[in-house]
Structure 1
Amino acid sequence: MRFYNFTIIVAIASILTSCGSYLSQPVDFEAPRTGEISETTKRLRSLPEPEEKVVVGVYNFRDLTGQYKPSEVGSTFSTAVTQGATSILVKALEDSGWFTAIERENIGNLLNERNIIRSTRQEYQGGNSSEPQLPPLLYAGILLEGGIVSYDTNIMTGGLGARYLGVGASTQYRQDRVTIYLRAISTSSGKILKNVYISKTILSQALDASLFKYVSFQRLLEAETGFTRNEPVQIAVKEAIEKAVEGLVVEGIEDKIWTPKGGDTIASQLVNDYSLDKEEEELTGLYNRKYIERKYNSALGVSLGASLLSADFSKNYLAPQLTIDYKNHIYRGLALQLSGSVFELNGGAAFTETFGSLGAGLNYTVLPNDKLTPFVQAGAGVLSRLSEIEISDAKSNFFKLQYGLGMEYLITDNLGLKGFATHNITLSDELDYTINGTRDDHYFNFGIGVNFYLGKSNNNN
């Protein structure tokens, strides 16, 4: 019954978390509206004014992927991305306020129309030389080239669902990715002044909940609800192009290709803000994971926790333990680890004793470039009784094998917070002074602590 209630709660919570989409279902025809304004558009429009606008020409900014829209029911001739990226780029150039875009995509139409104007004037004005000539066309100092170079589907898919006694809910998602390149070329020298690379993910999401249950004899209740939400590819392309234009402007300021009004003060502030954002974005990997560089190759760790005996007594209790360890990275996430512990093993009234242990082994950080990472460790060591031995001829020193796993969160470059659990096998049944059964005595250590990172990082780590 508890799981039944839990399933209903999960279904309701899933719907409520996306209630913006669920409660905004279309119920009537909608009037035309202006295009959506994203945060990228707002940043582009908030750029400072230029000292002088740059005349640019865009001949073609096209789809270079050659990819058709994926379909589960057969082939389709609809392309995966828009074929009107040139128009989107021209609009982004206008929104930035930094460029004067001139018509080059359909330059043939423009030249034909100008020829028609000249012919008409010559034919109906009798060659009157006092009539003004057509003004010359603007020529571009910079050409903008590039295109949509990649559209990758299903780079990440997944979902979650549960069903119990006819009540269930599920959610699914899919993430695609579009990539563009934009470069600026000097028409006087042919030199490529800047080349900007931008990618944007595209999210598709589905959520549904259903109920199928007999409420009484021959009375069946069946209900279902749900929705899907797909991020428009055109908007994703638009945001990627706008981000590329913003990057082109700021990186051009940084390289002194053009300057903003307000001089070096405005330029420095704009470049610094952009550099911080770019550095943050470059640290983020393909699956939106932030990659960091660990700057230190060794660490001193201190942790507090508890030990739990598993031996020949039926009752065992958690007891305190203190651990100090040192690790030095050998290669990437692999480190040599030395550790020392003082802990108590508590078997109730029958057995309670304090031990000390020394160990050596290997520690492997699974995700060495992430702030939050699991780690595994394994090794061997010795432990000794620190309390007075109850039986004079009892064994006081033991060899042990140990392995465990844990999780670490890097708070700063040289400080990490960790939690761990280890299993220690003593290879002896005399730890609690009692030999019983065929299984050797063993114990568990649990703890939380901190790692203080020291030294300098090697290039191979």
Structure 2
Amino acid sequence: MKIIYKAIPFLVTLFLSSCSAYFNQPMFQEPSRTGELSKSTNKLLDLPPAAQPVEVAVYNFSDQTGQYKAVELGSTFSTAVSQGGTTMLIKALEDSGWFIPIERENLNNLSTERNIIRNTKQEYVKNLNPNEPPLPPLLYAGLLLEGGVISYDTNIITGGIGARYFGLGGSAKYRQDRITVYLRAVSTSNGEILKTVYVSKTILSQAIDASFFRFVKFQRLLEAETGVTQNEPVQLAMKDAIEKAVHDLIIEGIQKQFWSSQGGKEVNDQLVAEYIAEKETDESTLLFDRLQVGRDAQNTLGISLGGNLPDNDYSTQELGFLGSLEYGRHFGRFFNVNLKTSVFRIDNGRQYRNVFASADINGQFALLPNDKLTPFVYAGSGVIISLLDPKNDNAFDTGEPFFKVQYGVGLEYFISKKVGVKLFGEHNLVFTDKLEKAVQGKRNDFYFNFGVGVNYYFKL
């Protein structure tokens, strides 16, 4: 029973992270409801009114992926995405208030019905009412909207985590797909493609499960399992992407002065400015939601503050100060060479304390050079020299220089294209046992530097 009591907190913790799905499991039939709003619906509805809505025609906005729904053992004859793209697009155009959608998808049905009405009116006019007005003409569109769903990529990210101990275990798994749509506006007067927009939307699937398997006593086996799986609806993701495409088409049309809002230039400029800022963020985000920063500066100036921790022949090893200045020159995106001067104190308490200076040259390699947050590694060599007399902390006494090598790792976060904040740790190997004036054993002295710093990037 003690094992069961230990399992309860684990199961509670595991499922609290997904309680919204787990504690709202469907148990009964539910009535029909109004369709859900997507993440982009409110952005579309919040647009200011148009100065003059534009008549648009949509003949077809189809699934161009040709992809069938994937299953574990192959595929089925069900398509991966909805075939109702035209209907979704017309609904988005109607919700925006900037367009007057004209029926063109089932034009044959509309033409047939109008012929029936026309023939009926002719008979009615001929026999009963000569003053019956004729059937009004069909509206024609100034714009054609074309495009479709051009890709559905599955498993662009998959992963998970799990653990099992003494019959108790749990796991969490996730998968991310992506749907992509293109939408273009075509002028019916000359066939010119006025604007094309491209939107992608990720689709998340999650699964969490827990199990318990244990013999609680002789011939008594306790086994329990539970779990929940949550899949983002593909139809809702497709609706979101289409609505975002319509929103972007409206703003880019304002930017190109194809149409305008009722508020005039001031409202137009505000909409365009907000859209450009959002677009710059989107374009600087890589596939896996990694922010990238375009950097073309070739030079870096940096300043760092931190601490020094020795590892030498004395038993007492305390934290000393560290200050550094450096200049770096970049050769391509990944590699740079930097020169660094440092002042630091090696502190062994009462046994030894001294201030040193060092000059280093390092080669540094950035692992993710265009990311907002990038790790880096570096290595190089340098010289170190004491600045004070170890017997008198206030007496300046330049000692013998020593050769050393160093290597380190770090992480840099770019506040802007020109300023980055870094965190680093460094191991320094000195090829002597005389650094702290004590020679014991066969091992040479070494020390660690670590700290934070700021880099400024610039061009000459």
Alignment TM-score, normalising by the size of structure 2: 0.91
Against the structure 1 CA distance between its residues 281 and 322, is the aligned structure 2 distance closer, same or farther, given a 3 Å change threshold?
same
Instruction: Return the letter of the residue paired with 2:459.
Output: K
Correspondence for 1:40:
40
Q: Which runs of 5+ in 1 are unaligned?
A: none
Is the 2:419–2:457 contact (alpha carbons within 8 Å) kept by the matching residues of 1? no
Correspondence for 1:161:
162
- Equivalences for residues 179-194 of structure 1 within 5 A: 179-194=180-195
2:140 paired with 1:136 = no
Per-residue CA deviation, residues 25-50 of structure 1 (Å, 9 max, x unaligned), is 11110000111013311111111111
- Tell me by how many angstroms 1:6 deviates: 10
Correspondence for 1:344:
345
Against the structure 1 CA distance between its residues 127 and 182, is the aligned structure 2 distance closer, same or farther, given a 3 Å change threshold?
farther
Is the 2:334–2:366 contact (alpha carbons within 8 Å) kept by the matching residues of 1? yes
Q: Distance in 1 between matches of 2:53 and 2:263?
A: 15
Correspondence for 2:404:
400
Correspondence for 1:77:
77
Correspondence for 1:199:
200
Instruction: Return the letter of the residue paired with 2:371.
Output: D
- Tell me by how many angstroms 1:130 deviates: 3.8
Which residue of the other structure, out of 429, 432, 438, is the alignment partner of 1:428? 432
Correspondence for 1:367:
368
Correspondence for 1:456:
459
Instruction: Return the letter of the residue paired with 2:115.
Output: N
Q: Distance in 1 between matches of 2:374 and 2:8?
A: 33
- Tell me by how many angstroms 1:51 deviates: 1.6
Instruction: Return the letter of the residue paired with 2:373.
Output: L
- Tell me by how many angstroms 1:365 deviates: 2.4
Q: Distance in 1 between matches of 2:375 and 2:10?
A: 28
Is the 2:38–2:237 contact (alpha carbons within 8 Å) kept by the matching residues of 1? no
- Tell me by how many angstroms 1:66 deviates: 0.4
Correspondence for 2:395:
none
Q: Distance in 2 between matches of 1:168 and 1:381?
A: 51
* 1:157 match: secondary structure: strand
Q: Distance in 2 between matches of 1:422 and 1:118?
A: 87
- Equivalences for residues 373-412 of structure 1 within 5 A: 373-388=374-389, 396-412=400-416
Is the 1:335–1:362 contact (alpha carbons within 8 Å) kept by the matching residues of 2? yes
Per-residue CA deviation, residues 96-134 of structure 1 (Å, 9 max, x unaligned), is 011111111111111122223333444566577543322
Q: How many residues of Structure 1 are paired with residues of Structure 2 in the alignment?
A: 450
- Tell me by how many angstroms 1:339 deviates: 1.0
2:222 paired with 1:221 = yes
Correspondence for 2:23:
23
Is the 2:382–2:405 contact (alpha carbons within 8 Å) kept by the matching residues of 1? yes
Correspondence for 1:253:
254
Q: Distance in 2 between matches of 1:364 and 1:12?
A: 44
| Most deviating of 317-326 and 80-89 | 317-326
Q: Distance in 2 between matches of 1:364 and 1:85?
A: 47
Per-residue CA deviation, residues 73-113 of structure 1 (Å, 9 max, x unaligned), is 33310111011100000000000011111111111111122
Against the structure 1 CA distance between its residues 238 and 368, is the aligned structure 2 distance closer, same or farther, given a 3 Å change threshold?
same
Against the structure 1 CA distance between its residues 163 and 193, is the aligned structure 2 distance closer, same or farther, given a 3 Å change threshold?
same
2:423 paired with 1:419 = yes
Correspondence for 2:271:
270
Is the 2:427–2:449 contact (alpha carbons within 8 Å) kept by the matching residues of 1? yes
Is the 2:357–2:386 contact (alpha carbons within 8 Å) kept by the matching residues of 1? yes
Instruction: Return the letter of the residue paired with 1:21.
Output: A
Q: Distance in 2 between matches of 1:346 and 1:41?
A: 63
* 1:136 match: secondary structure: coil
- Tell me by how many angstroms 1:295 deviates: 6.0
* 2:67 match: secondary structure: coil
Against the structure 1 CA distance between its residues 396 and 219, is the aligned structure 2 distance closer, same or farther, given a 3 Å change threshold?
farther
- Tell me by how many angstroms 1:437 deviates: 4.5
- Tell me by how many angstroms 1:7 deviates: 9.0
Is the 2:62–2:86 contact (alpha carbons within 8 Å) kept by the matching residues of 1? yes
* 1:75 match: secondary structure: strand
Is the 2:411–2:423 contact (alpha carbons within 8 Å) kept by the matching residues of 1? yes
Correspondence for 1:13:
13
- Equivalences for residues 282-293 of structure 1 within 5 A: 282-293=283-294
Instruction: Return the letter of the residue paired with 2:433.
Output: D
* 1:43 match: secondary structure: helix
* 1:77 match: secondary structure: strand
Is the 1:8–1:167 contact (alpha carbons within 8 Å) kept by the matching residues of 2? no
Q: Distance in 2 between matches of 1:47 and 1:355?
A: 64
* 1:407 match: secondary structure: strand
Is the 1:11–1:168 contact (alpha carbons within 8 Å) kept by the matching residues of 2? no
* 1:69 match: secondary structure: strand
Against the structure 1 CA distance between its residues 64 and 209, is the aligned structure 2 distance closer, same or farther, given a 3 Å change threshold?
same
Instruction: Return the letter of the residue paired with 1:442.
Output: F
- Tell me by how many angstroms 1:435 deviates: 4.3
- Tell me by how many angstroms 1:438 deviates: 4.3
Is the 2:177–2:203 contact (alpha carbons within 8 Å) kept by the matching residues of 1? yes
* 1:259 match: secondary structure: coil
| Most deviating of 360-369 and 49-58 | 360-369
* 2:289 match: secondary structure: coil
* 2:251 match: secondary structure: helix
Is the 1:7–1:163 contact (alpha carbons within 8 Å) kept by the matching residues of 2? no
Q: Which runs of 5+ in 2 are unaligned?
A: 392-398
Instruction: Return the letter of the residue paired with 1:40.
Output: S
Is the 1:206–1:229 contact (alpha carbons within 8 Å) kept by the matching residues of 2? yes
Per-residue CA deviation, residues 391-412 of structure 1 (Å, 9 max, x unaligned), is xxxx822111111001122234
Correspondence for 2:451:
447
Is the 1:7–1:169 contact (alpha carbons within 8 Å) kept by the matching residues of 2? no
Alignment TM-score, normalising by the size of structure 1: 0.90
Per-residue CA deviation, residues 6-65 of structure 1 (Å, 9 max, x unaligned), is 997665334212211121111110000111013311111111111221111100000011
* 2:138 match: secondary structure: coil
Per-residue CA deviation, residues 282-321 of structure 1 (Å, 9 max, x unaligned), is 2111111111223643333222222222234455333322
- Tell me by how many angstroms 1:265 deviates: 1.8
* 1:402 match: secondary structure: strand
Q: Distance in 2 between matches of 1:266 and 1:305?
A: 50
